[in-house]
Amino acid sequence: MNKPVYLEITPFFPTPDRFYGPYIYDQVKAIERNSAYEVIVVKLHPFYRETEAHEYTYQGTKVFNFKVIDLPSSTLPGILHFLNVYRFERFLREVIGISVENIAYIHAHSIYPGGALAVSLGEKYDIPSFIQHHGLDVFQLLNVGLLKGFMKKVNTHYMKKRFVQIANRADMNIGVSQKVLDRLIAEKGFENRRRYVLYNGVDTSKFYKISHSKKREGFSIGCIGNFFEIKDQITLVRAVHELKTRGITDIRVRFIGSGPKMKECRDYIAHHRLEEHFTFEKEVDHTKLNAFYNSLDLFVLPSYYEAFGCVYTEAMQTGVPVIAVKGQGIEEVLHEEEKDYSLIPKGDYRKLADLIEFRYNKRSKVDYNFDIDRYIKNFLNHVESMFPNKAPS
Per-domain boundaries in the chain: 5-201+372-390, 219-362
pLDDT, greater one: 356 or 213: 356
Q: Which of 202, 206, 146, 134 is nearest to 173 (CA)?
A: 134
Grade residue 1 by pLDDT with cuts at 50, 70 and 90: low
Say if domain 5-201+372-390 classifies as CATH 3.90.650.10: no
In percent, the amount of the chain with pLDDT more than 90 equals 85
Say if domain 219-362 classifies as CATH 3.40.47.10: no
The average pLDDT across 328-342 equals 96
| Whole-number Å distance between alpha carbons of 253 and 219 | 9
- Contacts with 104 (C-beta within 8 Å, 6 or more apart), sequence order: 4, 5, 6, 37, 127, 128, 390, 391, 392
Grade residue 16 by pLDDT with cuts at 50, 70 and 90: confident
The average pLDDT across 225-241 equals 97
Q: Which of 76, 105, 100, 103 is nearest to 89 (CA)?
A: 100
Q: In this predicted structure, what is the pLDDT of residue 2? A: 80
Q: In this predicted structure, what is the pLDDT of residue 72? A: 86
Q: Which of 326, 292, 318 is nearest to 224 (CA)?
A: 292
What digits encode the pLDDT tens for the residues 106-119?
Answer: 999 999 999 999 99
Grade residue 288 by pLDDT with cuts at 50, 70 and 90: confident
In percent, the amount of the chain with pLDDT more than 70 equals 98
* pTM: predicted TM-score of the whole model, two decimal places: 0.94
- Reduce the DSSP state of residue 328 to 3 states and report it: coil
Grade residue 215 by pLDDT with cuts at 50, 70 and 90: low
**CA-to-CA dists, residue 178 to 199, 254, 276, 366, 377, angstroms:** 9, 30, 40, 23, 19
- Reduce the DSSP state of residue 98 to 3 states and report it: coil
Residue 30 pLDDT > 60: yes
Grade residue 52 by pLDDT with cuts at 50, 70 and 90: low
Peptide bond into 113 cis (omega under 30): yes
**CA-to-CA dists, residue 352 to 176, 269, 278, 330, angstroms:** 26, 17, 17, 17
Residue 34 pLDDT > 60: yes
The answer to whether 93 touches 105, Cβ cutoff 8 Å, is no
| Whole-number Å distance between alpha carbons of 44 and 173 | 19
Q: At what angle do helices 349-362 and 233-245 cross, to 10 degrees?
A: 60
What digits encode the pLDDT tens for the residues 134-145?
Answer: 999 999 998 877
Q: In this predicted structure, what is the pLDDT of residue 275? A: 97
Q: At what angle do helices 262-271 and 233-245 cross, to 10 degrees?
A: 10
Residue 51 pLDDT > 80: no
Grade residue 97 by pLDDT with cuts at 50, 70 and 90: very high
Q: In what order do the strands lie in the sheet with 195-197?
A: 55-58, 61-68, 38-46, 5-10, 103-109, 129-133, 172-175, 195-197
Q: In this predicted structure, what is the pLDDT of residue 28? A: 97
Domains 5-201+372-390 and 219-362 in one fold: yes
Distance of CA 110 to the CA centre of its chain: 11
Q: In this predicted structure, what is the pLDDT of residue 147? A: 82
Range in 139-148, 190-199, 222-231, 367-376 with the lowest mean pLDDT? 139-148
Q: In this predicted structure, what is the pLDDT of residue 73? A: 84
The answer to whether 112 touches 166, Cβ cutoff 8 Å, is yes
DSSP code per residue over 269-317: HHHTT-GGGEEEE----GGGHHHHHHT-SEEE---SS-S--HHHHHHHH
| Whole-number Å distance between alpha carbons of 242 and 244 | 5
Q: In this predicted structure, what is the pLDDT of residue 284? A: 77
Residue 213 pLDDT > 60: no
